[in-house]
Amino acid sequence: MSRIFRFFIAIALVSGVLLYAISSLNSEQGYSGENTLTIYNWGDYIDADLINRFEKETGMKVIYETFDSNEAMMTKIKQGGTHYDIAIPSEYMIDKMRKEKLLVQLDHSKLPNLKYIDKRFMDLPFDPKNHFSVPYFWGTVGITYNPKMLNGKEIDSWSDLWDPELKNQILLVDGAREVIGMGLNSLGYSLNDTDKGHLLEAKNKLDSLTPNVKAIVGDEIRLLLENQEAAVGLVWSGVASEIMAENEDLEYVVPKEGSNLWFDNMVIPKTAKNVDGAHQFINYMLDPKIAAQNTEYVSYSTPNKAALQYLPKEMVEDERFYPSSELTEKLEVYENLGKENLAYYNELFLQFKMHRK
Amino acid sequence: MENKLTRSLYAVPYLLWIILFVVAPILLVLYYSFFNIEGQLSLSNYEKFFTPVYLKMIFSSFWYAFLITAISLAVAYPAAYLLTKTTHKQLWLLLIITPSWINLLLKAYAFLGIFGTYGAANNFLEMVGIGSKQILFTDFSFVFVSVYIFIPFMILPIFNSLNDLNPTLLDAANDLGASRWTTFRRVIFPLTIDGVKSGCQVVFIPALSLFMLTRLIAGNRVITLGTAIEQHFLVTEDWGMGSMISVFLMITMVLIMMLTGSRKRGA
């Protein structure tokens, strides 16, 4: 008994000492009060060198945390346990957070560098007049494929995927909006269509794709495509550029019927303690040279028009990742369709998954 | 009197635990299951559950859970029996249990590599002249990996009950002229049935609500109730429907426990 008791005392003592050490270390390094900036971002989605530089320039301490889904991020911000000063959600989530009053309105006078952002990417329906968010990166949804595995066959439209030659060769990403959206686009409907008849039609069209679909997977899709597990994949452009860097045989195409245009924007959540520092950080990231360096690291498409001149030519002129404005005209941004419609999308997606060959 | 007081004091942590982490969550799940996606009180989730989509899902969940349990049992019983006959039983048992210490996700990812088009399994098939086949994202790979994951949980209770078997009973059966098969059927199996039952419970119930493997190994070609719960909670944010399916699973589990639970043997 006394041995167990002593054991517990020892554990309590060790924890106490460690706690004290952490708090004294934190205050020594300035990790307290107004002088810190907590950033909440997707994993591996910023050049860490830029954070160091920001710390040096401003004397602020940056705490960097990551999330892997918009939903998880929103849940954590709603609970408000951590005081995130900056978060980088995707567009539909910004609309949702804006409506649930989870965001702080931006003070544009503190963001002079906002002028460098391409006008195409400003004032979009999910955040009119950019009251709450500033574009960070953007991209498309499209098809990545391996011409070598397909004997040189080229793909440039959604309907090409229905070719019987592609039997068991397609990997789809596990997202209801992406997959149902593909069905809608291939029928010429809008990605934000909420007409039940149209959606059902899209689902039936997708059912007929089943023999070609090898699997519907999550993040593993990168690994699987890289390893040539399948020749074709429905992916986001960011994923495509990453795997194309690993496997040079792969190609990426934005289907000509149209597709999705997505954004990840910087916002200041209501949990922010250091609103001023957050503005400073956003403005810093909008600086053309900084944005260019970040783009080279992350390799997604930057919305910063002035940054393009600092980027390698072959990167900027790559129509696959910087599509012409004629093509972007045809692309649609996801609108927040509301819970009920989203539930219907998911219901149909579930039915599509259950459809057997 | 004081003794009684201290005894009830000892019960406090246990009661707190049960109330906070068992009773309260179950009640919450039950409560949520009566709300539709708009947040209104309704029975719509229960109505929706009995539509063909979900009935088909229930059927496939049960079918796969049954397959997984049956195959695990078929492998585990002989294995456990052999284990009790070896000299270093505990060591062998340890070797079989060790894989269950490794994280499930890691094991699943390993199978992505092994079963892939250019993976070890296909290299082997190629070598023996069968030629490469699609293994990943099939029913076979799903059942195989699930069985691999659940087998230690099946072996353990069966091993324990076999190990507790009094060897003199087998001698007696032998003396009385029972053949080996009769001895197994009439003596060994009935005496270890409790181990088999608890092994089946431990495998069948989690197998009903598997969700991660359905995506990683079966590529979402197998949809179980667990997948649906995950989707309702994480993507759709339809907590009501997710809770409803959980309620269904809990009721099923209680029923299974009641049906297979060991009744007191007497009269």
The residue assigned the tokens 């910004």 is A94
Same domain, A123 and A212: no
With H, G, I as helix, E, B as strand and everything else as coil, classify residue A353. Answer: helix
Domains and CATH numbers, chain B: 51-237 (1.10.3720.10)
The reply to whether A28 falls in a domain is no
Q: Other CB atoms closer than 10 Å to residue B190's CB: what's the count?
A: 10
Q: Is B255 helix (H, G, I), strand (E, B) or coil?
A: helix
| CB environment B13-50: b (16+ within 10 A), e (fewer) | eeeeeeeeeeeeeeeebeebbbbbbeeeeeebbeebbe
Q: What is the mean pLDDT of residues A76-90?
A: 89
Residues 6+ apart with CB under 8 A from B193: none
pLDDT, chain A, mean: 90
Q: Flag whether residue A177 sits within 8 Å of chain B, measured between CB atoms.
A: no
Q: Using alpha carbons, select from A87, A43, A97, A96 the residue that is nearest to residue A68.
A: A43
Task: Supply the mean pLDDT for chain B.
Answer: 88
* Pairwise CB contact (< 8 Å): B236 & A354: no
Task: Identify all chain A residues contacting B117, using CB atoms and an 8 Å cutoff.
Answer: 227-229
Q: Looking at residue A184, which CATH number applies to its domain?
A: 3.40.190.10
> What is the model's pLDDT at position A267?
96
B5 touches chain A (CB under 8 A): no
Written as one string, the DSSP assignment of A101-152 is T-BPPP-GGG-GGGGGB-GGGSS-TTSGGGSSEEEEEEEEEEEEE-GGGGTT
B98 token code pair: 């060790």
Q: How do residues A191-222 score in pLDDT, each as one tens digit?
A: 999 999 999 999 999 999 999 999 999 888 98
Decide if A138 contacts A265 (C-beta within 8 A).
no
Nearest to B117 among A71, A229, A340 (CB): A229
**Residue showing tokens 């059902």:** A200
A220 at B interface, C-beta within 8 A? yes
Q: What is the pLDDT of residue A190?
A: 93
Verify whether the Cβ–Cβ distance B221 to A346 is below 8 Å: no
Closest CA to B92 of B106, B102, B82: B82
C-alpha to C-alpha distances, A36 to A30, A133, A347, nearest whole angstrom: 7, 21, 43
Is A24 a member of any domain? Answer: no
**Closest CA–CA distance from residue A353 to any residue of chain B (Å):** 6
Residues A307 and A295 sit within 8 Å (Cβ to Cβ): yes
Taking Cα atoms as reference points, which of B183, B166, B162, B165 lies closest to residue B174?
B183
Percentage of residues of chain A with pLDDT beyond 90: 62
User: Which among B216, B218, B235 is the nearest to A346, CB-wise?
Assistant: B235
Are the beta carbons of A342 and B236 separated by less than 8 Å?
Answer: yes
A148 and A282 part of one domain: no
Quick one: A165 and A276 in the same domain? no
Write out the two tokens for A245.
């860097």
Could you tell me if A182 and A276 lie in one domain?
no
Q: What is the ipTM of this complex?
A: 0.84
- Looking at CA atoms only, how far is residue A64 from chain B in angstroms? 24
Cα separation, B165 vs A42, in Å, equals 56
Residues A101-131 have pLDDT tens digits of 999 999 999 999 999 999 988 998 899 999 9
* Same-domain pairing of A112 and A45: yes
Residue A212 has a pLDDT of: 94
Q: In chain A, pLDDT over 70 holds for what percent of residues?
A: 97
Same domain flag for A98 and A49: yes
In a domain, A329, yes or no: yes
Structure tokens at A211: 């023999």
Q: pLDDT confidence of B265, banded at 50, 70, 90?
A: very low
Candidates A176, A343, A356; nearest CB to B238: A343
Q: pLDDT at position B266, please?
A: 40
Helix-helix angle B52-85:B189-208, to 10 degrees: 140
A29 assigned to some structural domain: no
Let me know if residue A23 belongs to a domain.
no
Return the structure tokens found at A185: 């686009």
Judged by CB atoms closer than 8 Å, whether chains meet at B219 and A214 is answered as yes
Q: DSSP string spanning A199-227?
A: HHHHHHHHHTTGGGEEEEESTTHHHHHHT
Residues B96-147: pLDDT tens digits?
888 888 888 899 999 998 998 888 898 899 888 888 888 889 999 999 999 9
**Domain match, A60 and A111 both:** yes
For residue A17, tell me if it sits in a domain. no
Query: Mind listing the pLDDT tens digit for each residue in B43-97?
Result: 888 988 888 889 999 999 999 999 999 999 999 999 999 999 888 888 988 998 8
| Contacts with A, B 92-121, CB within 8 Å | 109, 112, 116-118
User: What span, in angstroms and rounded, lies between the C-alpha atoms of B123 and B168?
Assistant: 49
A154 and A243 share one domain: yes
Q: Count how many Cα atoms sit within 13 Å of the Cα of residue B105 in the half-sphere of its side chain.
A: 1
Predicted confidence (pLDDT) per residue in B244-258, tens digit: 999 999 999 889 888
Using CA atoms, how far apart are residues A223 and A249, in angstroms rounded to an integer?
15
Tens digits of residue pLDDT in A223-282: 899 888 999 999 999 889 889 988 888 999 999 899 999 999 999 999 899 999 999 999
Considering the domain boundaries, does residue A5 fall inside one?
no
Neighbouring-strand partners of residue A261: A140
Residue of A nearest to B60 (CA): A354
pLDDT for res A76: 87
Cα distance between residue A96 and residue A101, in whole Å: 9
Q: What average pLDDT does range A140-164 have in this prediction?
A: 92
Q: List, for residues A307-328, the tens digit of each pLDDT value.
A: 999 999 888 888 888 988 888 8
- Provide the pairing of β-strand A213-217 with A86-87: unpaired
Q: What is the dihedral of CA A335, A340, A342, A348, to 10 degrees?
A: -140
Please name the residue that has the structure tokens 């029975």: B43
Q: H/E element holding A71?
A: helix A70-79
Query: Is residue A92 a known part of a binding site?
Result: yes
d(CA A181, nearest CA chain B) in Å: 16
Sequence letter at residue B113: G
Q: Among A27-41, A59-73, A199-213, B38-52, where is mean pLDDT lowest?
A: A27-41
Identify whether residues A229 and A147 lie together within a single domain.
yes
Instruction: Looking at the structure, tell me whether residues A159 and A77 fall in a common domain.
Output: no
Q: Count of CB atoms within 10 A of residue B243's CB?
A: 22
Q: Which residue of A has its CA nearest to B56?
A: A354
Question: Which whole number is the average pLDDT over A58-83?
Answer: 86
**Rounded to an integer, what is the distance from CA B257 to the centroid of its chain?**
13
Q: A34 or B60, which is more confident? A: B60
Give percent of chain B above pLDDT 90: 45
Dump pLDDT digits (tens) for B155-189.
Answer: 999 999 999 998 899 899 989 998 989 998 999 99
Contact between chains at B221 and A353 (C-beta distance less than 8 A): yes
Residues A89 and A145 in one domain: no
* Pairwise CB contact (< 8 Å): A350 & B228: yes
Interface contact B237, partner A, CB < 8 A: yes
Structure confidence at residue B2 (pLDDT): 61
Query: Does the beta carbon of A354 lie under 8 angstroms from any beta carbon of chain B?
Result: yes
CA distance B226 to chain A (A): 12
What is the domain extent for residue A181?
A: 139-261+323-354
- The amino acid at residue A131 is H
Distance from CA of B137 to the nearest CA of A (A): 6
In terms of domains, do A213 and A254 share one? Answer: yes
Report residue A343 as tokens. Answer: 């539930």
Cβ of residue A210 closer than 8 Å to a chain B Cβ? no
Q: Is B159 on the interface with A (CB under 8 A)?
A: no
Report the relative pairing of strands A170-173 and A213-217 from DSSP bridges: parallel
Contact B215 A218 (CB under 8 A): yes
Q: Which residue is closest to A345 within chain B, CA to CA?
A: B236
Find where tokens 């968010």 sit: A133
Contact B38 A347 (CB under 8 A): no
Please name the residues in contact with B122: beta carbons below 8 A apart, sequence gap of 6 or more. B115, B116, B132, B133, B135
Query: What was the pLDDT predicted at B263?
Result: 56
Q: Which residues of A touch B234 (CB under 8 A)?
A: 69, 71
Query: Is residue A153 scored above 90 in pLDDT?
Result: no
Residue A74 has a pLDDT of: 86
* Residues B176 and B244 sit within 8 Å (Cβ to Cβ): no
- Domain total of chain A: 2
Q: Per the domain annotation, does A25 fall within a domain?
A: no
Q: Residue A174: which of B218, B220, B232 has the nearest Cβ?
A: B220
